[in-house]
């Protein structure tokens, strides 16, 4: 079925061509004043320097793992692993490049042409990332399936692709997360709380690092995360299709030859999704003159509807039963529902509740915020359970993998909307630092506030898809183990939860996300502490800096350096643990224990991800609600606001470092297990 | 084997007789000055009034559930359920009665006779609770096995006993937890933070409610919790012994008749444990003149060693293989290890780290404390996994249940040490309120600080035993389902974690602890808010109160009333959810999904319990470390101290309300499933 691979490759390349044109159009935009360009250059240099240094470290890691896979599993899997790592790194690079160009041009558009133009520029910046993720995923998997085909062995090989993407993703997310929050927390603690100067004030030496952080954390990190889910869902679906009983979901009876319908479905769905996304992105040129929130929602919904129509037509005309469509539909709808639940908890009555609780001080702010975070897990867990129920009823384990594809097929547009947020945020920072005045700031603030909501929805998507992808990969792992055992004449494994090995695996798996959470939180705490010391030192030692003397320049490079070093140093241990944990447990305790471990890690990882992301988002917006005067009797600078700032600061590493790390962690552990399956199946 | 039941009954009664004598001796102690007695009476009245009102509500609940069990399952199970509820309530009642007598007498002993005497009185107060728990457990199970015997049906019946104990425990823990923290958080926020008066200052109208709270939360709530683990472990072991293949752990081959050795082992171990505990309690009369920490540790270790020797001798001389002893030993040792890990995280370098982080404000205090909480889960999860591994290798699922008995067999002494803490705390409060001067306060403060450590260790024990008991009950559930299916000619169920039903159960189960956590945190937040308003009102409206006028009396009864009402109102929903959730899932989705639910709830419940209890304890002690001047450059009242107070306040509902509620929740869900097993086994 090489023509499906060819189409994937073709549409993927078309996607990259579109990316290129969007990028060129973006580059031609005005960069505003000289001051603006100078700041933007500083941010751009910092971000690229970090990415470069991170990738250099990762090259070593990739080489070591590739050698191990080469000799331990197979040459082909090793190659696929390297290609996966490369594609993920490229997606991050393209996204960052565009984002750091778009931020200043958004500010300039806001200054010169108003809100609609600014929205358009910021969105195009995000679209480079969104479309790159989808296009590179299709190119990578299209090329690999073209070479290796679609059989069971090929499925095993392309799992290496997903593992490569996962590995880069974990380091990018953890490193980026530590970077951004060390800078953010550190500069807020000294700047906003101690010195009483506003956010993004150019006197604050940490402010450039903070803006760089938005790019390395929220753009590159997020992109790598979603790339991984996107690819992981397809790999899991192909792996399951390669070993399942095809009769289950085909109208043709007893026709083993028709397995190809199933094997190619994941790529076909993603092709339809990318085309739909490109139409959605193009639609923004029409929508952007509407209210920005409606414009973003409109283009997202347009792409989703087009994707569903396309998917339905394809399935209906093929030999696949119609029920399979409902598994996909459940994924698409479930993603939107989780997004809405996330929006409710981070932008609605729960936020007001936290804001009111701030009146009795930071302690009650934290207690209520944490309670909101706990509560916010309930809806998404129910939705994920519902998706699994529908998908499994309709198409068995294959359905679960398809649901995850359904959730992410229009990643081209959802990622664009998501990456738009940090660009608007940066644009605001640049306006403030270049003193463009309140008019411009008002536009960028409006776009930024909307960006917070889209980011929250994006996070909901990321978590939901991570959970589904992890479960799909986990199912693929179970099937891969059984396939090896079947070939060796052994009975399939039973991962019964009353088996002590499975229980031990469950407990050990549940432990890993906690450990990674503890490590990343501590890293942010430590790095933020160093940042605080450095900023305090500069305020103390550079004469006239705090007073606002024109000639007193803060040493921003030093702060960038602190964040960079801390992030690179602290990202290694979590990454290594995530790769080693499933390997050690699988090797020492066998495939049942490893299965238990994946289930435990997925459950506790999803819980931590939801809890931390949502409470963090809610704290952030509770602070903003007080700042905007939405809470009667409270205002910026008052006691309640100070309490809310504490909550916001606690929420920073929650929502931008540790929480998102969980998404990748659970996928990475599952994919490592899937790659290892042939080695441990008979233990 | 009726003589084992008889011995259990006999030793249980002997335990109650010892309790009676300890209580009488306690009552004869001096109550100090008239002012002290007056305060003590107020605390006593408040505590008893709360217990009375709570029990009245629970009578309704017990009657409804008993009727449902009567008609839905069996008359006998229903009776056992009522007996279990009664025993749990009685244990709580005895413990509270003694604790509220011991607090003032501890203060008086500190005043008149010094530290050793005070320690002795406080410990005896705790011993009433500790020995009551063990004695009532043995009496209840002894009586039931005497009547119904030890076969499979009897095992099903006595699971009702455990469910009765669980139900009361959940309400007592949740109600007590909300009560104590509403009072504590509320009076601290206004008293310590706003008005700047010390803790336990008699001017603070919330201070009596705070002291009542220590009794209803930390004594009655904790007692019901541990009673439940103690009973649950035995019930699970008997249930597993009734359906397992006995050859696995017996030296005799093919001897079905010798199953009795296994069926009676749980009660025999608990009898040995109670005797060992009584010796340990008696040993305190010798130890109490040593350093208090050593005294408490000495008596605990003495009892543990005696228990292990007794258990080894019994097993060695019976037909049971020696390996079974190692399962028990793993439990005993594991309990101590978890206690030590808990102590490390709540009283050692991690606490210093949090204290230092307080220098940069409340946000970094919270971030570091939360990270410590996450990290503190790692050790206990590894230990629990290790216990399961040893226990299962030696004696299969039976071993897991025995390990949980091994951890709790000496509950008589571990509970005594644990209940001693809140008594010492109350004694400190009474000394402060009756102005007994710094000398006395120094003694009670010393005992109180030690009480915090023993409480932390006790919490570690409670969580560890809850996890093991829940897993043991879960195993018993699986066996009970299979037994019913076997009788009906059906194949055993396979709860494979790649089965979609099991995965859905896992997700839904993982959700329940989060929901209960959110509900209880919110309840504390709301009730504390009401308390804050009331205390502020009194300070404003009662002339001379804050100034310290002798004639200005705070209206403490009103604060007691607020806590009582809030606790009673807010405890209902979590309790009902915990009972209904397994019922609904079992009924609608069958036994596999319910199995998944139990596994998910246990994992997420244990994680939340560890995270919340340990971070709460660490925040508390970080604040104390600053107060004691252990952190260079920081002192009480400084900025770092204020930040640490925020952490401590956040930690209050973490460690004393939501965290402990998880222990009971996971046991209750498992026991409900075990009771339901016959009804849903064939769905």
Report ipTM for this prediction.
Answer: 0.92
Residues of B in contact with A603 (CB under 8 A): 506-507, 510, 600, 603-604
A475 contacts B378? CB cut-off 8 A: no
pLDDT at residue B101 in the model? 92
Q: What pLDDT band is residue A190 in, cutting at 50, 70 and 90? A: confident
| Mean pLDDT value of segment B608-624 | 93
| Mean pLDDT value of segment B321-333 | 93
Site of tokens 């019976």: B318
Q: What pLDDT band is residue A257 in, cutting at 50, 70 and 90? A: low
B389 contacts A497? CB cut-off 8 A: no
- pLDDT for residue B456 is more than 80: no
User: How far, rounded to the nearest angstrom, does the alpha carbon of residue A647 sit from its chain's CA centroid?
Assistant: 23
Per cent of chain B over pLDDT 70 is 99
| Mean pLDDT value of segment B87-103 | 91
Q: Rounded CA gap, B267 and A368, in Å?
A: 44
Query: Which residue of B lies nearest to A602 if distances are taken between CA atoms?
Result: B507
pLDDT at residue B554 in the model? 87
Q: Rounded CA gap, A222 and A663, in Å?
A: 10
Looking at chain B, how many residues does it have? 683
pLDDT at residue A614 in the model? 93
- How does pLDDT run across B148-173, given as a tens digit for each residue? 988 888 988 999 999 999 988 888 88
Using alpha carbons only, give the angle B99, B167, B54 rounded to the nearest 5 degrees: 50
- How does pLDDT run across A121-179, given as a tens digit for each residue? 999 999 999 999 999 999 999 999 999 988 888 988 999 999 999 988 888 889 999 99
Q: What pLDDT band is residue A252 in, cutting at 50, 70 and 90? A: low
pLDDT at residue A599 in the model? 95
CB nearest B371 (choices: A185, A522, A528): A522
pLDDT at residue A372 in the model? 95
- pLDDT for residue B254 is more than 60: no
pLDDT at residue A255 in the model? 54
Looking at chain A, how many residues does it have? 683
Question: How is residue A469 written in tokens?
Answer: 């992808």
DSSP A359: G
CB nearest B361 (choices: A193, A381, A498): A193
B504 contacts A389? CB cut-off 8 A: yes
Site of tokens 């079974």: B324
pLDDT at residue A170 in the model? 87
- pLDDT for residue A298 is more than 90: no
- pLDDT for residue B194 is more than 80: no
Q: Rounded CA gap, A539 and A557, in Å?
A: 15
Q: Rounded CA gap, B679 and B670, in Å?
A: 15
Count A/B contacts: CB-CB distance under 8 Å. 222
Q: Rounded CA gap, B436 and B442, in Å?
A: 10
Residue B106 near residue B122, CB atoms below 8 Å: yes
Residue B667 near residue B229, CB atoms below 8 Å: yes
Report the residue of A360, A403, A602, A641 to disrupt the B interface, i.e. the one with the largest count of B CBs within 10 Å. Answer: A360
What residues are paired with B320 via a beta bridge?
B250
* Average pLDDT score over chain B: 89
B111–chain A nearest CA distance, Å:
36
- How does pLDDT run across B354-397, given as a tens digit for each residue? 999 998 889 999 999 999 999 999 999 999 999 999 999 999 88
The count of C-alpha atoms lying within 13 angstroms of the C-alpha of A96, restricted to the half-sphere facing its C-beta, is: 30
Residue A585 near residue A594, CB atoms below 8 Å: yes
- pLDDT for residue A365 is more than 80: yes
Residues 6+ apart with CB under 8 A from B278: B14, B15, B18, B131, B412
Q: How would you write A572-607 as a 3-class SS string? A: HHHHHHHHHHHHHHHHHHHHHHHHHHHHHHHHHHHH
Q: Rounded CA gap, A602 and A597, in Å?
A: 8
Q: What pLDDT band is residue B511 in, cutting at 50, 70 and 90? A: very high
> Which range among A82-96, A283-297, A512-526 shows the weakest confidence by mean pLDDT?
A283-297
SS3 category, A150? coil
H helical segments located in A488-571 = 500-541, 556-570
Residue A367 near residue A378, CB atoms below 8 Å: no
pLDDT at residue A1 in the model? 52
Query: Which residue of B lies nearest to A474 if distances are taken between CA atoms?
Result: B498
Q: What string of DSSP letters covers A221-271?
A: IHHHHHHHHHHHHHHHHHHHHHHS-GGGGBSSSS-GGGHHHHHHHHHHHHH
Query: Which residue of B lies nearest to A658 if distances are taken between CA atoms?
Result: B371
B498 contacts A495? CB cut-off 8 A: yes
Residue B617 near residue B463, CB atoms below 8 Å: no
Q: What string of DSSP letters covers A263-315?
A: HHHHHHHHHHHHHHHHHHHHHHHHHTTS-HHHHHHHHHHHHHHHHHHHHHHHH
B535–chain A nearest CA distance, Å:
13
- In our burial notation (b when 16+ CB lie closer than 10 A, e otherwise), range B125-146 reads bbbbbbbbbbbbbbbbbbbbbe
pLDDT at residue B451 in the model? 81
Residues 6+ apart with CB under 8 A from B19: B94, B127, B128, B131, B132, B135
Hey, how many other C-beta atoms are within 10 angstroms of the C-beta on B533?
Answer: 14
A486–chain B nearest CA distance, Å:
17
Q: Rounded CA gap, A175 and A50, in Å?
A: 10
Question: How is residue A435 written in tokens?
Answer: 């003193």
Question: How is residue B512 written in tokens?
Answer: 């329940």
SS3 category, B196? coil
Listed ranges A568-582, B591-605, B664-678; the one with the highest mean pLDDT: B591-605
First to last CA, chain B: 35
Hey, how many other C-beta atoms are within 10 angstroms of the C-beta on A412?
Answer: 33
Residues of A in contact with B514 (CB under 8 A): 374-375, 377-378, 381, 607, 611
> Which range among A151-160, A200-209, A498-507 shows the weakest confidence by mean pLDDT?
A200-209
Q: What pLDDT band is residue A613 in, cutting at 50, 70 and 90? A: very high
A389 contacts B507? CB cut-off 8 A: no
pLDDT at residue B261 in the model? 85
pLDDT at residue A140 in the model? 94
- pLDDT for residue A231 is more than 80: yes
Give whole-number Cα distances, B151 to A131, A681, B17, in Å: 66, 40, 31
A603 contacts B506? CB cut-off 8 A: yes
């Amino acid at each position: 079925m090489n023509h499906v691979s060819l189409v994937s490759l073709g549409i993927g390349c078309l996607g990259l061509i579109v990316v290129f044109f969007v990028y060129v159009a973006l580059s031609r935009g005005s960069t505003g004043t000289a001051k603006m360009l100078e700041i933007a250059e500083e941010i751009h240099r910092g971000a690229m320097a970090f990415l470069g240094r991170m990738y250099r470290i990762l090259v070593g890691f990739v080489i070591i793992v590739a050698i191990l896979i080469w000799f331990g599993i197979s040459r082909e899997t090793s190659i696929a692993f390297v290609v996966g790592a490369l594609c993920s790194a490229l997606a991050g690079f393209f996204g960052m490049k565009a984002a750091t160009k778009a931020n200043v041009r958004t500010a300039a558009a806001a200054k010169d042409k108003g809100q609609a133009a600014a929205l358009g520029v910021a969105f195009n910046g995000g679209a480079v990332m969104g479309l790159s993720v989808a296009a590179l995923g299709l190119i990578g998997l299209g090329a690999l399936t073209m070479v290796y085909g679609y059989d069971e062995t090929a499925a095993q090989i392309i799992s290496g692709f997903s593992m490569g993407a996962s590995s880069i993703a974990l380091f990018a997310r953890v490193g980026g997360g530590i970077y951004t929050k060390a800078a953010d927390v550190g500069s807020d603690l000294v700047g906003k709380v101690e010195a009483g100067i506003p956010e993004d004030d150019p006197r604050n030496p940490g402010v450039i690092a903070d803006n760089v952080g938005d790019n390395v954390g929220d753009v590159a990190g997020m992109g790598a995360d979603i790339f991984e889910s996107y690819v992981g869902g397809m790999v899991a679906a192909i792996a399951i299709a390669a070993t399942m009983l095809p009769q289950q979901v085909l109208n043709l009876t007893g026709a083993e030859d028709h397995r190809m319908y199933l094997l190619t479905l994941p790529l076909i769905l993603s092709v339809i999704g990318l085309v739909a996304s490109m139409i959605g992105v193009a639609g923004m040129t029409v929508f952007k003159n509407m209210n920005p929130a409606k414009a973003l929602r409109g283009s997202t919904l347009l792409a989703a509807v087009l994707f569903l129509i396309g998917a339905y037509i394809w399935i209906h005309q093929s030999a696949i039963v119609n029920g399979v469509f409902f598994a996909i539909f459940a994924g698409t709808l479930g993603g939107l529902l989780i997004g809405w639940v996330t929006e409710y908890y981070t932008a609605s009555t729960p936020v007001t509740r936290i804001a009111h609780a701030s009146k009795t001080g930071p302690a009650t702010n934290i207690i209520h915020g944490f309670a909101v975070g706990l509560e916010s897990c309930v809806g998404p867990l129910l939705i994920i359970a519902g998706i699994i129920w529908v998908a499994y009823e309709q198409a068995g384990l294959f359905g679960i993998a398809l649901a995850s594809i359904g959730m992410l097929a229009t990643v081209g547009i959802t990622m664009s909307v998501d990456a738009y947020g940090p660009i608007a945020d940066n644009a605001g920072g640049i306006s403030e630092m270049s003193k463009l005045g309140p008019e411009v700031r008002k536009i960028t603030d409006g776009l930024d506030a909307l960006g917070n909501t889209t980011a929250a929805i994006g996070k909901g998507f990321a978590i939901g898809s991570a959970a589904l992808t992890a479960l799909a990969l986990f199912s693929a792992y179970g099937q891969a183990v059984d396939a090896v055992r079947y070939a060796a004449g052994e009975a399939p494994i039973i991962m019964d939860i009353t088996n002590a090995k499975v229980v031990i695996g469950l407990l050990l798996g549940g432990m890993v996300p906690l450990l990674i959470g503890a490590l990343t939180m501590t890293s942010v705490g430590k790095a933020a502490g160093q940042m605080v010391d450095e900023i305090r030192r500069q305020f103390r030692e550079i004469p006239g800096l705090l007073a606002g003397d024109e000639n007193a320049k803060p040493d921003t490079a030093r702060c960038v350096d602190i964040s960079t070093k801390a992030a690179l140093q602290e990202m290694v241990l979590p990454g290594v643990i995530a790769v080693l944990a499933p390997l050690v447990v699988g090797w020492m305790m066998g495939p049942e224990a490893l299965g238990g471990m994946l289930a435990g890690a997925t459950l506790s990882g999803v819980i931590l991800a939801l809890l931390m992301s949502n409470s963090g988002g809610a704290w952030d917006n509770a602070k903003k609600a007080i700042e905007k005067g939405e809470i009667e009797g409270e205002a910026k600078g008052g006691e309640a606001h100070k309490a809310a700032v504490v909550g916001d600061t606690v929420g920073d590493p929650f929502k931008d470092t540790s929480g998102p790390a969980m998404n990748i962690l659970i996928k990475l552990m599952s994919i490592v297990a899937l790659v290892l399956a042939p080695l441990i199946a008979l233990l």
